[in-house]
Structure 1
Amino acid sequence: MSTKTVLITGATSGIGAALFEQYTQNGEQVIACGRDKTKLAAIAERAYQTCSFDMTVPHEIADATQHINLIDILILNAGNCRYIDNAKAFDGELFSDVISTNLTALGWLLQYLLPKVSSGGQVVFVSSSATILPFPRSEAYGASKAGIDYLANSLRFDLVEEEIDVTLIHPGFVKTPLTDKNTFNMPFLITSEEAAKRMIKGIDKRKKYLHFPKRLTFLLKFISFLPSSLWQALITRK
């Protein structure tokens, strides 16, 4: 099999770092992207290329990626999670920040990187199982991830003629620096390494939709079919 060029955003932390490690161990050429120049420098010798940019700043993306040629697998993984702690005193700035980072930034990334994806390549969107059901305090995070779902599923149709596949991923709870901040119970929590392993397996099979761990995602899907009064009581139970 020929070596693939894989670009990963958010490659210096959490799932992105685990993907970087496993793809490089598999002999792929990995372009590692992130904001932290120190962390990127630490992996530069093992990376095919590194790109440092703030993905909410379009000209930084343009400058950092101008020397990238062809990409076989584009993994849009980077994102943030912040919660609305007081719905009545809604934090519009927080909401805007999360939407900008998790969703709007993808438009800029696609503008500068999608033209570099080869015919027969793949674009991978890392969304969240939080879009299966609404959760308390997740107005900003959930809305941004729901937007990613629609973006991925719509883009899939428009890339058929380009022979580019789109994979949408719904991870459950994964142990990362982001989830380490959570103060609530996270059922069926898995490691970043396990998440990366499942993602790579699904990407290799060119799956349109990938969700895991299924103990959680199937449970959420089942709950979503219950009468709204029942699942709301379940979701909001302390």
Structure 2
Amino acid sequence: MNTVLITGATSGIGLQLAMDYANSGAIVYACGRNQERLCDLKRQFGNLHSLAFDLTDLEATKVALNNLEYIPDLWILNAGDCEYINNGHLDSKLVKRIFDINVLGLTNAIEACQPYFRKGQRIAIVGSIASEVALPRAEAYGASKAAVSYLARALQLDLKPQGVEVSIIYPGFVKTPLTDKNTFDMPMVISCEQASKEIRRGLAKGHSHIYFPKTFTSMLRLIGALPYRWQNVLTSKLLAQ
């Protein structure tokens, strides 16, 4: 890929992807809300351009993406957030916060980027393996990522005739500043470097669905194919609560 645009590029997987693609020689548009981190990235890489804006603000997103000097070949829509429900007590404000960034922020990015979509481009949308099976305390996060997965799969169908390919990424646990806040065990957790490698390799091969780490995501996909009652029993045993 010659030009890559990455949302959520100031932390975690997005930051690692921005650095790895910049190191490979690609022109990178790093998007995020952390202006200081974006400035640091820009100082490190002469081929990296920073765009500071809030994805939950549609107009600000459109303004930021209105005049790209280089048209991306690859759009990595990665920005997201995670908060967990405590003791089964739903919090509507918490759910709204998560959906605002994970779902509406994603649709804002797509709406702002779509005037640039051209044949031969690829859109990569970062979801989560949590979208494929119900997990403890993940009522808000898992539901938002299920919406992301459905949206991305529908987009695959709608953009295919235009020659625009859509890849959906389903990570398991990745060690990031976000997951560092987790108070439970994270089975088979991997580093951001490993996650970036899996994503870049999958996208380079043109994979439409990218799962990693293989063992953990395969286990959850298998569980997700079982009756719901069995799923609950198995996930309770697999994941520490």
Q: Same fold (TM over 0.5)?
A: yes
Paired residue secondary structure (1:98):
helix
**What amino acid maps onto 2:15 in structure 1?**
A
Structure 1 residue 227: Cα displacement: 4.3
Range 227-236 or range 165-174, more displaced: 227-236
1:227 to 1:146, Cα distance in 2 relative to 1, 3 A: closer
- Report how many residues are paired: 235
Gaps of 5+ in 2: none
Range 49-58 or range 220-229, more displaced: 220-229
The 8 Å contact of residues 32 and 51 in structure 2, kept in 1 or not, is answered as yes
Q: Deviations over 1:131-164 (max 9, x none)?
A: 1210111111011100111111101111122211
**TM-score, L = length of structure 1:** 0.94
**TM-score, L = length of structure 2:** 0.93
Paired residue secondary structure (2:6):
strand
Percent of aligned pairs sharing the same letter: 40
User: Does residue 114 of the first structure (1) align with residue 114 of the second (2)?
Assistant: yes
The 8 Å contact of residues 41 and 48 in structure 2, kept in 1 or not, is answered as no
* Residue number in structure 2 paired with 1:41: 39
* Residue number in structure 2 paired with 1:126: 126
* Residue number in structure 1 paired with 2:19: 21
Q: Deviations over 1:38-88 (max 9, x none)?
A: 00011113143210001001121122122214111000001000011143x
Structure 1 residue 233: Cα displacement: 2.1
* Residue number in structure 1 paired with 2:50: 50
Find runs of 4+ consecutive structure 1 residues off by over 4 angstroms: none
* Residue number in structure 1 paired with 2:160: 160
Q: Equivalent residues in 2 for 1:57-72 (5 A)? A: 57-69=57-69, 70-72=71-73
Paired residue secondary structure (2:94):
helix
Query: d(CA) in 2 for partners of 1:36 and 1:224?
Result: 36
Structure 1 residue 225: Cα displacement: 3.5
Range 115-124 or range 199-208, more displaced: 115-124
1:90 to 1:21, Cα distance in 2 relative to 1, 3 A: same
The 8 Å contact of residues 7 and 32 in structure 1, kept in 2 or not, is answered as yes
User: Does residue 208 of the first structure (1) align with residue 205 of the second (2)?
Assistant: no
The 8 Å contact of residues 5 and 28 in structure 1, kept in 2 or not, is answered as yes
Query: d(CA) in 1 for partners of 2:229 and 2:91?
Result: 27
- Cα RMSD for the two superposed structures: 1.4
Paired residue secondary structure (2:118):
strand
User: Does residue 76 of the first structure (1) align with residue 74 of the second (2)?
Assistant: no
Gaps of 5+ in 1: none
**What amino acid maps onto 1:166 in structure 2?**
V
* Residue number in structure 2 paired with 1:147: 147
Query: d(CA) in 1 for partners of 2:221 and 2:106?
Result: 26
Paired residue secondary structure (1:174):
coil
Q: Deviations over 1:70-109 (max 9, x none)?
A: 111000001000011143x421011011011100111111
Query: d(CA) in 1 for partners of 2:144 and 2:115?
Result: 24
User: Does residue 96 of the first structure (1) align with residue 96 of the second (2)?
Assistant: yes
The 8 Å contact of residues 79 and 106 in structure 2, kept in 1 or not, is answered as no
Structure 1 residue 191: Cα displacement: 0.4
Range 36-45 or range 113-122, more displaced: 113-122
User: Does residue 7 of the first structure (1) align with residue 5 of the second (2)?
Assistant: yes
